[in-house]
Structure 1
Amino acid sequence: MPLPFLTADSACDAQDPDSPDPRDHALPYEDADRWRRPYRPGPLRVAIGAVLLLISSFMLLATMIIAFAGAWAAAAVCLVAALTVIGGTLRLLASGVRVNGTGLRRTTVLSTRTIPWQDLAELRTAQQPVRWMGLPRTVQGQALVLKVRGGGEPLVLLTDHNTDFLSRPEAFDRAAEAVQGWADDHQVVPIAS
């Protein structure tokens, strides 16, 4: 059975590396102010999200069984727990860096920070200790680091050891170049790279 959505991706990936990727260009009818992630979510992030959504589906099934048994308080607790897992999973899947014509947005599970392009002082890749999959353990790796005008601590946007780029260094390089390209296109003053 042919799967055209797979052949289209593999045909684009098999192109000459110097030729522009047709997926990188905005469509003429696309909203220019829409926030877009300049890279694909990693397979590890998607797998974790899928497992959490599977667990929440079992929690919803348990909610229904408990409700049919007549224990409404327990069903309400189970429903709240399932909705919390679903909300956390959706936030996990939405985590990452997004760009548009006005600035850059970094979304984590607990917070979102938007930085206008004109507030960027420096955007560069650096070899430094980075968190492994967001956990407290650090390993030596690459990070896309952002410094904002007016001082403050540098903000780590992407690392090659997070759930999107673990064991995929070429994907990290493409994502870092894409974010830097957006910054170069929309920055008033050139930034260091």
Structure 2
Amino acid sequence: MPLPFLTADRDFGDVAGDAPLPYADRDRWRRPYRPGPWRVLMAAIELLLASYLLFATVIMLLADSVTGALTCAGVAGGIILAALRLLRVGVWVSAHGLRQVHLLRTVTLAWDEVAAVRTVQQPVKWLGLPRTVQGQALLVVPGARRGRGGDSAPLRPLLTDSNADFLSRPEAFDRAADTVEAWATELR
């Protein structure tokens, strides 16, 4: 008995893995790309550290050191929350607008507040560190409705080809930048 779902009836190279499904709800916030290996690695290291702290919490509870156990559990909880937030960092799009999530803050622009989204060559931060390298950045230029007195200076780069999601993955950066630009063109 043939199992057609296990056979390669089509060429998977033609299918973009990051494209939203046709029946997906456009009103939901979605990231138009997958988190990169560097971001996932950092979150995994944080979760590994939190697991050691939780193990230390159990040992301290067995040794009747409640204060130390509560301290370790609190620090582990903070590290777990930071790891989860780190995985959410990035650019999110929906029919409502464009959202840039940072570790400690979130900036949301409605599509009518966006004048343009474009890719430019400029010095960019390498993995978010102070060191800069020449690379590509996806910039959003706010519109006049942004409340900045008509100032059309670009905001912080949405994406760079040297951040934790796209380092050593130029095709993924190009695909993500094209997707965000397409959303902006379609919904602006």
Q: Which amino acid aligns with 1:94?
A: R
Shift of 1:181: 0.5
Shift of 1:128: 0.4
2:75 corresponding residue in structure 1: 81
1:38 corresponding residue in structure 2: 32
1:93 corresponding residue in structure 2: 87
1:173 corresponding residue in structure 2: 174
Shift of 1:147: 1.3
Find the partner of 1:122 among 116, 122, 131: 116
Q: For residues 108 and 22 of structure 1, do their structure 2 counterparts lie closer, same or farther at Cα, with a shift above 3 Å needed?
A: closer
Using the alignment, how far apart are the partners of 1:151 and 1:57 within structure 2?
A: 48
Q: Deviations over 1:128-153 (max 9, x none)?
A: 01011011111111000111123264
Q: For residues 94 and 23 of structure 1, do their structure 2 counterparts lie closer, same or farther at Cα, with a shift above 3 Å needed?
A: closer
1:163 corresponding residue in structure 2: 164
1:57 corresponding residue in structure 2: 51
SS of 2:130's equivalent in the other structure is coil
State the TM-score, normalized to the length of structure 1.
Answer: 0.84
Q: Which runs of 5+ in 2 are unaligned?
A: 1-6, 144-149
Q: Does 1:103 align with 2:104?
A: no
Q: Does 1:26 align with 2:39?
A: no
> CA-atom RMSD, angstroms?
2.0
SS of 1:163's equivalent in the other structure is coil
1:151 corresponding residue in structure 2: 151
Using the alignment, how far apart are the partners of 2:130 and 2:51 within structure 1?
A: 30
Using the alignment, how far apart are the partners of 1:87 and 1:31 within structure 2?
A: 28
Shift of 1:121: 1.4
Shift of 1:170: 1.1
Using the alignment, how far apart are the partners of 1:128 and 1:32 within structure 2?
A: 32
Q: Which amino acid aligns with 1:186?
A: L
Using the alignment, how far apart are the partners of 1:88 and 1:153 within structure 2?
A: 31
Report runs of 4+ in structure 1 exceeding 3 Å deviation: 20-23
SS of 1:34's equivalent in the other structure is coil
2:4 corresponding residue in structure 1: none
Shift of 1:54: 1.1
Using the alignment, how far apart are the partners of 2:77 and 2:177 within structure 1?
A: 34
State the identity %: 49
Q: Does 1:70 align with 2:64?
A: yes
